[in-house]
Structure 1
Amino acid sequence: MFLENVGLIFDLNFFISLIFSAASFFKVSGERSIMVTLGELKTGEKGKVTAFNQSGNAYRRKLLAMGLTPGTQFTVSRVAPLGDPIQLEVRGFKLSVRRDEAATVEVSRL
């Protein structure tokens, strides 16, 4: 009888710890950021590169070489009056990209 109760207590403790770990997982993963393109960000906004569109293969290699790799955080420093080009601060330097290049980069707002 005593051993059966001990087993039941351990099972309940395991179940409770499982519930709390699942709740903390969903709390962290539930914080979603909105996915937009780089061209949609305004001056002063921060973002993180998540992916490149398939249509942007011509620009992809150039942007990767300039340091705009997936996972890189950046800040939009300036946007020209007509919206082209966009100046970013990436990895400690200023990078200007054209509006059509920026439309191929998918980012999440920070």
Structure 2
Amino acid sequence: MSITESIVNMVSDEAKKRNVNKVTKINIVLGELTGFEEESIRFYFDVLSEGTPLYGAKLDFKKVKAEFKCRSCGMIYNRGNFTFKCPYCGSSGVLIEKGKELYIDSIDVE
């Protein structure tokens, strides 16, 4: 709930600064490793945005898959089938920064 509250507060503050009466869409980038679920954010958003210019706005999520780098061959790949093994050589990979993103990309307003 706290992350959704932060989203509502940030967008509300920005809308207020720009004299926006209605926010119609919020585009959010969400990495798979953040631990946050799209449906939970939507649920809390509906509750927390009530009575604000954000109420009824569509939340559009761009999901970012986690990326790993193979320790042996150096290839960068997405995790598959619940394994961290490199699909190219079978060695173990290490997590790189991709997949930890969580930010508001843009806001559509009327």
Specify the TM-score bucket, using the shorter chain as the normaliser.
under 0.3
TM-score, length-normalised on structure 1? Answer: 0.24
TM-score, length-normalised on structure 2? Answer: 0.24
Q: Which protein shows a greater Rg?
A: 1
